[in-house]
Structure 1
């Protein structure tokens, strides 16, 4: 039995459908992340799981118990909010213990639980401080501690790191990952940050306009997106999209476009692909920046690799890599090259296009062309 089952859940406000038949099953100990742009329905789904929103269709089960219409207090769920929601007049110790006190836990057991949680989160030295005297990261740990002290069946995290600065976000992301590995808790986590999703999740649910577009492991979603939206949403920098014509290329297939010197170039598609139904048609090629690089010797003899001359528009050094922005068929394309590769804006550079992980999309529907 799944730890959490979301069975055809719908939510409407009048005529506006916010959730359109969501189906997700989460195993015990799994870390699921809901991602999508603002307004996609991910927070509404989270609130529906918590019981803060009443669904208009479908069921929500915790284990084998139907909690669709149960009140929040009867769902055995702990939630960590974006705003931390700490009581300002209480110390850290009192904030963590408050929920346990409401549940009539004996004082000695409460103190032991507060000590356990504060040690786990390394906030023992903060127990007598009030929230006003804590940093953002410390407040977030206290909010997590309050949730962990309850030992519920399910934890919900609603964009818990969005109020933190970039460095602290990375640190807290690591802490949450460690925490999950140590405790093996079941977590549903909402974020709009796809880096957060890729690094933390066992599985990712990508949502748009109230619909679940894809539910899979981070790597599978990154390598095999079901449509152009998912492909563009996951990954940083985003996947490149180029309008190309599909052509026959020897025994296989290729895509045709114009290089930086105005020459027609054919990039070979992997031999495993049967694309006969699309020959002669304009399609959208999806290729991630790390598949367009400076020439590297170990790839020179690969069937799916072609060197292409491109005009360099912009270079963006990042330390470990240099991002090169060029133009292919009238669209900007991001490429990831070695920082020592000599490229300058305005010059034509030779870059290696590795098509081994290329994906194609229908230009009208933006759906992945299945192969």
Structure 2
């Protein structure tokens, strides 16, 4: 395997700038996910790593070697596409062995490698079938097997699960996670699905408009988003963005909140609010994830940054392990995640609490994080 370094990579198509100076570096054996909405540049970056797109400027390094100007066949990478790209006239065995045959690997060694990969992916019983006789999940396993048989320095996965149904996506996601844990391979994986990103990655690069908005571990991205785009893109349900006035309350600076019944509360921001005093009386955006807005939990309500308040339930959505409820704060719909046994009915008031120790604050104009 090998480390990967992407250094100030830019890509333009005429006057259209698709990649605007990408800098990413991962260690040998790490799982990198490029995530973002359609058109953000993640697939173009993947193709640049693979050598399918020539970069306008910048360097791509695999291990100790700069591969920027090399052809795909000379980069020692293997790619798994979302369309599987299997040869329909070949058996599973021949599909997996095809790349080895092209490289003139001896037949005995090819057969040994096919068996190794088939056992690893649990498709030994499918080796004599054609792709048309396989399910979507089985075809994806074969596509992965063909890549694994190569033993390259880096594996590239381009939205490999997007053609699968929801249940199969979850199953295959788990299989890819197990595979990476067993093999310790270096993987670059493109997806628009933030759940895939959170569950699979060692490192995540969140992209928008050809720029890496934030690069870090799943926990860093989720708990400490640098701006409103990252905060809103990562997480399901999405983070609540509550617009309100910054005021001075009994516990220091806080955000003034008005519930649907006209009651006023101040959500305290905690002791470290340096640099915010100049914003008193101005609008800010408070970012709170639904799981930090819950029913009152007795052993937590005495904590310094836990604030209790009341609000009327607008919508109640049971999901099984928990219940999502929507309330009105400052005239906005806000999602809370509560225990099913504690959830009331739509139209009823409910005692709730917010953990302000987990909240973040954004500038409404720049959408960058303030606190």
Whether the TM-score (by the shorter chain) exceeds 0.5 is yes
Please name the residue that 1:334 is paired with.
335
Note the alpha carbon deviations across 1:165-190, whole angstroms, 9 max, x for none.
11111111110000000000000000
Contact 1:261–1:309 under 8 Å retained in 2:
no
Tell me, in whole angstroms, the C-alpha distance in 2 between the residues paired with 1:87 and 1:273: 61
Q: For 2:10, what is the secondary structure of its paired residue?
A: strand
Q: What residue is the counterpart of 1:310 in the other structure?
A: 311
Deviation at 1:56, TM superposition (A): 0.5
Are the equivalent residues in 2 in contact too, given 1:91–1:130 (CA < 8 A)?
yes
Cα deviation for residue 106 of structure 1 reads 0.1
| Alignment correspondent of 1:73 | 73
Question: Alpha carbons of 1:270 and 1:338: their partners in 2 closer, same or farther (altered >3 Å)?
Answer: same
Q: SS at 1:60's partner residue?
A: strand
- Give SS of 1:82's match: coil
Q: Deviations over 1:30-64 (max 9, x none)?
A: 00000000000000000000000111111111112
Measure how far apart 1:2 and its partner are. 6.8
**Counterpart Cα distance in 1 of 2:286 and 2:212:** 24
Residue 349 of structure 1 and its aligned partner are, at CA, apart by 1.5
CA offsets, 1:188-244, max 9 Å, x none? Answer: 000000000000000100000000110000001101000000000000000000101
Unaligned runs of 5+ residues in structure 1 are none
Partner of 1:289: 290
Offset, 1:311: 1.8
- Where in structure 2 are there 5+ consecutive unaligned residues? none
Cα distance in 2 between the residues matched to 1:73 and 1:272: 54
Distance 1:192 1:234 in 2: 10
Range moving further from structure 2, 192-201 or 268-277: 268-277
1:257 pairs with 2:223? no
Tell me what 2:221 maps to.
Answer: 221
Deviation at residue 261 of structure 1 after TM alignment: 1.9
Q: What corresponds to 2:247 in structure 1? A: 247
- 1:96-130: CA deviations, max 9, x gaps? 00000000000000000000000000000000000
Residue matched to 1:163:
163
How do residues 120-131 of structure 1 correspond to structure 2 at under 5 angstroms? Answer: 120-131=120-131
Q: Cα offset for 1:251?
A: 5.4
Task: Report the 3-state secondary structure (helix = DSSP H, G, I; strand = E; otherwise coil) of the residue aligned with 1:196.
Answer: helix
- Single out whichever of 93-102 and 290-299 deviates more from structure 2: 290-299
Tell me how far apart the structure 1 counterparts of residues 143 and 150 of structure 2 sit (CA, whole Å).
12
Q: How far off its partner does 1:348 sit?
A: 1.8
How far the C-alpha of 1:260 sits from its partner, in A, is 2.7
Q: In structure 1, the residue corresponding to 2:357 is in which secondary structure?
A: coil
Residue 352 of structure 1: aligned partner: 353
Q: Distance in 2 between matches of 1:287 and 1:251?
A: 19
> Aligned-pair distance for 1:138?
0.4
In 2: Cα distance, 1:71 partner to 1:84 partner: 22
**Bigger shift: residues 186-195 or 334-343:** 334-343
Q: Deviations over 1:232-285 (max 9, x none)?
A: 000000000010111122352111010232021101112233232322221000
- Does the aligned pair in 1 maintain the 2:84–2:140 contact within 8 Å? yes
Partners of 2:67 and 2:291 in 1: CA distance: 45
Contact 1:84 1:139 in 2 (8 A): yes
- Counterpart position of 1:323: 324
- Hey, what does 2:17 align to over in structure 1? 17
Label 1:128 to 1:2 Cα distance change in 2 as closer, same or farther (>3 A): closer
Secondary structure in 2 aligned to 1:34?
A: strand
Counterpart residue number, 1:172? 172
1:178-257 superposed matches below 5 A = 178-250=178-250, 252-257=252-257
In 1, are the aligned partners of 2:2 and 2:186 still within 8 Å (CA)? no
Q: Is the 8 A contact 1:260 1:309 kept in 2?
A: no
SS of the residue corresponding to residue 358 of structure 2 reads coil
Match of 1:300 in 2: 301
Q: Is the 8 A contact 2:202 2:217 kept in 1?
A: yes
| Worse-matched range after superposition: 116-125 or 257-266 | 257-266
Closer, same or farther in 2 for the Cα pair 1:177/1:342, shift >3 Å?
Answer: closer
State how 1:56-135 maps to structure 2 within 5 Å: 56-135=56-135
